[in-house]
Amino acid sequence: MKNQYFSVIKFPVFVSISLILLTALFFFFSVSGYASLGLSLVEKIIYGVIFGVILLLIITWLLVLSSTHRKIKNKILKTYLKWMMFHVYYFLAMVINLLFIQSRVSLWESFLNFNNEIVLTNHLGKKHKKVLLLLPHCLQNSKCQIRVTDDIMNCEECGKCVIAHLKKWANQESVHAAVASGGSIARKLIVEHKPEVIVAVACHRDLVEGTRDAWMLPVYAVLNERPHGPCFETTVSLANVEYAVQKFI
Ligand code: SF4
């Protein structure tokens, strides 16, 4: 229960804490500098710029928070908020995570959940024809000799792994499903299919790297399960995948 709670709130809470700390540090140094020797013109300018940056970070973060439940229509603002989330706030949360000696995995999960909320909000009520279901190679049974990375249609549906069900279900729903064995193949698939939305299945690390890599694109993340450890005969909740894809088609 506690883990589930953290996997939702950790990222937004850690970003907020980092901004509170930055603001507190700023006031501590500026006020103590002013109280002891006063501030020279150069120092006033430097403190002014730092204050402006902190203010911008806070306002932008409030807008990012609001984008989890309110659609941002302005494309430039939307791109700016996404860029800040993936390139600035992600690192701020990582620093706080490091300071509190917390597990990276729950922060990653929270970051992915947070991004999923934004993707859902931005695509609420829209029906998409080009949804790409991106699956990891490790879902495949390790003894299977078929190259599903070339084409998922090669799967002979023997039922020894979830690929069979996902292939059949994606066909029924006219969703393009593909299996990627790594980041470069995933990028190639995205370039080839030019999807409007991507539903990606993978582990925490790969999903965070993938969503950050393709930050301009709407990527909805679904975590896989690893009953045999990482990268080996993993599986995924079919209900979670179907639920995610249904939101966009
Ligand atoms: S379901 Fe498909 S991919 Fe999985 S083991 Fe059978 S043939 Fe191979």
Among 143, 151, 163, which is best to mutate for testing ligand 1, by the most ligand atoms less than 8 A from CB? 163
Statement to judge: residues 94 and 135 lie in one domain: no
Whether the per-residue pLDDT at 76 is higher than 60: the answer is: yes
Of 107, 136, 153, the residue at which a domain comes to its end is 107
Cβ–Cβ under 8 Å, residues 161 and 139: yes
Q: Judge whether 119 lies within some domain.
A: no
Write the residue with the smallest CA distance to atom 8 of ligand 1.
144
Query: Residue 104: how many CB atoms within 10 A of its CB?
Result: 14
Which one, of 20, 16, 11, 32, lies nearest residue 90 by Cα? 11
Statement to judge: residues 171 and 141 lie in one domain: yes
| Ligand 1 centroid, distance to 184 Cα (angstroms) | 23
Among 137, 138, 146, 154, which is best to mutate for testing ligand 1, by the most ligand atoms less than 8 A from CB? 146
What percent helix, strand, coil does the chain show, rounded to 5? 60, 10, 30
- Residue pLDDT, tens place only, 148-198: 998 999 999 999 999 999 999 999 999 999 999 888 899 999 999 999 999
Using the atom order of ligand 1, give the atom closest to the CA of residue 155.
2
Specify the number of domains making up the chain.
2
Statement to judge: residues 86 and 130 lie in one domain: no
Ligand 1 binding pocket (C-beta < 6 A) is 140-141, 144, 146, 148, 155-161, 163-164
| Ligand 1 centroid, distance to 173 Cα (angstroms) | 20
* Cα–Cα distance for residue pair 249/69, rounded to 1 Å: 20
* Cα–Cα distance for residue pair 178/161, rounded to 1 Å: 15
Statement to judge: residues 17 and 103 lie in one domain: yes
Of 56, 76, 107, the residue at which a domain comes to its end is 107
Q: Judge whether 115 lies within some domain.
A: no
Of 107, 133, 148, the residue at which a domain comes to its end is 107
Per-residue burial over 115-154, b = 16 or more CB atoms within 10 Å of its CB, e = otherwise: bbbbbbebbeeeebeebbbbbbbbbbeeeeeeebbeebee
Q: Judge whether 208 lies within some domain.
A: yes
Tell me the CATH number at 197.
3.40.50
C-alpha angle 41/21/89, rounded to 5°? 100
Q: Judge whether 25 lies within some domain.
A: yes
| Ligand 1 centroid, distance to 164 Cα (angstroms) | 6
Statement to judge: residues 145 and 50 lie in one domain: no
Statement to judge: residues 130 and 76 lie in one domain: no
- Alpha carbon distances (Å) from 24 to 19, 28, 47, 135: 9, 6, 13, 44
| Ligand 1 centroid, distance to 158 Cα (angstroms) | 5
Query: Is the pTM higher than 0.85?
Result: yes
Using the atom order of ligand 1, give the atom closest to the CA of residue 161.
4
Statement to judge: residues 99 and 146 lie in one domain: no
Cβ–Cβ under 8 Å, residues 109 and 59: no
Q: Judge whether 217 lies within some domain.
A: yes
- Residue pLDDT, tens place only, 5-56: 677 899 999 999 999 999 999 999 888 877 777 778 888 899 999 999 999 9
pLDDT for res 39: 76
Q: Judge whether 114 lies within some domain.
A: no
* Cα–Cα distance for residue pair 249/247, rounded to 1 Å: 6
Cβ–Cβ under 8 Å, residues 22 and 91: no
- Residue pLDDT, tens place only, 104-155: 999 999 999 999 999 999 998 889 999 999 999 999 999 999 999 989 999 9
| Ligand 1 centroid, distance to 166 Cα (angstroms) | 11
Statement to judge: residues 129 and 46 lie in one domain: no
Q: Judge whether 116 lies within some domain.
A: no
Q: What is the largest CA-CA distance in the chain?
A: 78
Q: Judge whether 118 lies within some domain.
A: no
Using the atom order of ligand 1, give the atom closest to the CA of residue 141.
5
Domain that holds residue 210: 125-246
Antiparallel, parallel or unpaired: β 219-223 and 176-180: unpaired
Antiparallel, parallel or unpaired: β 197-202 and 176-180: unpaired
